[in-house]
Structure 1
Amino acid sequence: MIYLDNSATTKPDPAVLDSFTQVSQRFFGNPSSIHQLGGEAERLLIRSKEQAANLLGVNSDEVIFTAGGTEGNNLAIKGIALEHRGRGKHIITTDIEHPSVFEACQSLERLGFRVTYLPVNRDGEISVDDLKKAINDDTILISMMHVNNEIGSIQPVKEVGEIAKQHPKLFFHVDNVQGIGKVPLTLEDSGIDLCTISGHKLHGLKGTGILYVSRGTKIFPLFHGGNQERAIRSGTENLAGAVAMVKALRLIRDKEEKQVSSLYNLQAYLRDRLTKMDGVELNTPPKAAPHIMNISVPGLKPEVMIHKLGEKEIFISTKSACSSKQTDESKILSACGHTNERTTSALRISMSYDTNEKEIETFLEVFEQSVEQLKEVME
């Protein structure tokens, strides 16, 4: 099997699974219980937060354990909007956000908020000048992804953070689900007030994640109950999931430090070979995250190619897994200004640090043969 759909989800690391199992068996007490088992669980939870904070370069009280990217994005966006609606009702985001951001913003529009969706250029990047012009006295939130999940484009979040610092009334949220462990991002003193991370994108477990909430940032909770997680996310803590999340974060940080150049080399090799293939168009910009390559084969239905490769146990995808079963057209590529032929024939190849050159070589050979065969059938 050759698995190249890592932007949708990654295979859990055995060490992560082991940590989850051990904690589930040994520390099953409720961290809120006052007996010894509860105390042990609480101490492990506190230690996990400290470790996560150290890995992210933040304070432990700024770490909120969540159930993943969708919850983190919704908590950040709706939490800021509802808590600070008295200050203003204007939100700024982009045209190429993940559905959990885009639809969260749309839901707030139904509650009377006004949302500006910034356009992107051909490479999927916003204009900083457009952002500056969009900010007004009513703006309370800027929300954007660091790395795009379909084409790998990188937004200028460092510059946006500096702009956000000049407007103390507004908050800046970054969806870093695709960037963590691949593209460096500093949180401390960056102007970023909230940042979302998902465990299953970095060889952790589904249902685990982290939302960074900077000190002094108040958000309205979406869950009410036992006041866990600083009363930001009530509910009995998923201790085993939190420990597994931290384990996955530590492992991906280590891989990033030692192997990120190899991932860039694989992407360059992939780009070079795909560029030379007849009928294949590259959609991922030259300066992109190292694990994503988006292409189009105009004239071919993407799902046909997915199934043909799947027969050879090679797995890629069309677009975001959260929207892949909807219309064929890629909303992201459309926002980048590509033609309908390209937006409806997009394929995404997404690698991990476990991907090797032999796998890429095999994929390229099978892919090229499949393109030729399918075009012959069409003719």
Structure 2
Amino acid sequence: MAPEALAAMQPWLGGIDSGGGWANPHSAHSGGRKAAAAVEFAREGVTALMPAGGRLVFTSGATEAINLGLRGVLGSHKPRCRIVTIVTEHAAVRDTCFWLERQGFTLDLLPVGNDGIVDLDVARAAVGSETALVAAMLVNNEIGVIQPIAALADIAHNAGALLLCDAVQGFGRLPIPDAADMVAVSAHKIHGPKGIGALWIRDGINVEPLIHGGGQEQGLRSGTLSPALCAGFGAAARLAAVRVDADAAHVAILRKVALALFADWQVNGSLDHRYEGNLNLRRDGLDVARLLSDVRSVAFSAGSACASGSGRPSHVLTALGLSADQVRSSIRLGFGRYTTVDEIERAAHLINQAALDQFG
């Protein structure tokens, strides 16, 4: 977590005798009003990174935000009953779409090329008068590939449909396309606290709540907000806005170093249309399960953390056309603001040495 985000949270974690930070932001007394002001200040910080002309609803994370966007908007778009998304989407989108399919909606999964990018002509053919919603990631969570969100939004709008953008991996790093109708984000991806995210909703779009109760969060998300989590999210967003250029330059250096150190590996997905803080690498014949066991001092993975332990091969890498053996020979590396060149170099040495040991 960014030190600035942690510092912003501290006043809201204490008891009544420590300055009033424990107050309920939905209460009318002075402590509640003070907490509510902190929540709104945080909302302004996050909203500043979004397109103009919308409102921001705090959620428990991007998964809830995606569910709210997908499930909450479809009721107002009857009789349209078709959802279009991309085969490489995060499980929060895929599994929600599969659930909606069981409720009677029609689902189209768009394929990607071996670079991980959707074909716009295929998308254009799939989106029609029955389409209610198109859902697409800005940056893929496994391979870092950037999808053409603005073009997909144009396709959706030309057919009278909406576009939901899962911007979790790109938020605070890349501009959010102005054409998106809904945008889901999560605080911990920009060095904020875990357990809070948000859904940005363009003005004029009707969304039905998933969680019913007191109607605290603009009538769309009942439940008491945490001023501490909101404050941390807002501080992280403001910091990301200030540091966006410096962070991008730092990450570019890290990627250049990493690519040189992993010259014997192949990159999965497009190298040109990609967030530079992600490298998904493959070394054919490698046993990645063994590699993870042999290199426990390095935090890297064989795929999405959300699918860790499931035993299922990565649906993202499979969609690129990789064989099961190639998928099992792939690793994912992520680096960002607080990663150093020294850490990249030490990690690469340990991973490469363990790989060489496997090949004898």
Q: Corresponding residue for 1:70?
A: 63
Q: What letter matches 2:99 in structure 1?
A: S
Decide whether the 8 Å contact of 1:329 with 1:345 is kept in 2.
no
CA distance in 1, matches of 2:165, 2:189: 16
Decide whether the 8 Å contact of 1:80 with 1:218 is kept in 2.
yes
> Which deviates the most, 236-245 or 106-115?
236-245
Q: Corresponding residue for 2:216?
A: 228
- Provide structure 2 residue ranges, at least 5 long, that are not aligned to the other structure: 15-19
Q: Which one of the candidate residues 125, 135, 149 is aligned to 1:157?
A: 149
Flag as ranges the 4+ runs of structure 1 deviating above 4 A: none
Q: CA deviation at 1:315?
A: 1.4
Q: What letter matches 1:299 in structure 2?
A: G
Decide whether the 8 Å contact of 2:269 with 2:320 is kept in 1.
no
Decide whether the 8 Å contact of 1:267 with 1:291 is kept in 2.
yes
Decide whether the 8 Å contact of 1:182 with 1:290 is kept in 2.
no
CA distance in 2, matches of 1:56, 1:192: 10
Matched residue SS, 1:314: coil
Q: Corresponding residue for 1:176?
A: 167
1:292 aligns with 2:281: no
Q: Corresponding residue for 1:251?
A: 239
Decide whether the 8 Å contact of 2:49 with 2:176 is kept in 1.
no
1:129 aligns with 2:121: yes
Q: What letter matches 1:42 in structure 2?
A: A
Q: What letter matches 1:73 in structure 2?
A: I
Matched residue SS, 1:133: helix
Q: TM-score, normalised to structure 1's length?
A: 0.89
CA distance in 2, matches of 1:156, 1:340: 28
Which digits, 9 at most, give the CA deviation of each residue in 1:93-117, with x for residues without a partner? 0000111100000000110000100
1:98 aligns with 2:90: yes
Matched residue SS, 1:229: coil
CA distance in 1, matches of 2:170, 2:82: 26
Q: CA deviation at 1:328?
A: 5.1
CA distance in 1, matches of 2:328, 2:154: 37
1:13 aligns with 2:6: no
Q: CA deviation at 1:57?
A: 4.6
CA distance in 1, matches of 2:347, 2:35: 45
Cα RMSD after superposing both structures: 1.6
Which digits, 9 at most, give the CA deviation of each residue in 1:323-365, with x for residues without a partner? 1211252211110111222112221000011112111111222
Matched residue SS, 1:147: coil
Q: Corresponding residue for 1:34?
A: 28
Q: Corresponding residue for 1:79?
A: 72
CA distance in 2, matches of 1:21, 1:354: 21
Q: Corresponding residue for 2:268?
A: 283
Matched residue SS, 2:348: helix
Q: What letter matches 2:239 in structure 1?
A: L
Q: TM-score, normalised to structure 2's length?
A: 0.94
Q: What letter matches 2:243 in structure 1?
A: K
Matches within 5 A, 1:260-271: 260-271=248-259
Q: CA deviation at 1:259?
A: 2.7
Q: Corresponding residue for 1:301?
A: 287
Q: Corresponding residue for 1:203?
A: 191
Q: Which one of the candidate residues 279, 292, 309 is aligned to 1:325?
A: 309
Q: CA deviation at 1:82?
A: 3.2
CA distance in 1, matches of 2:128, 2:168: 28
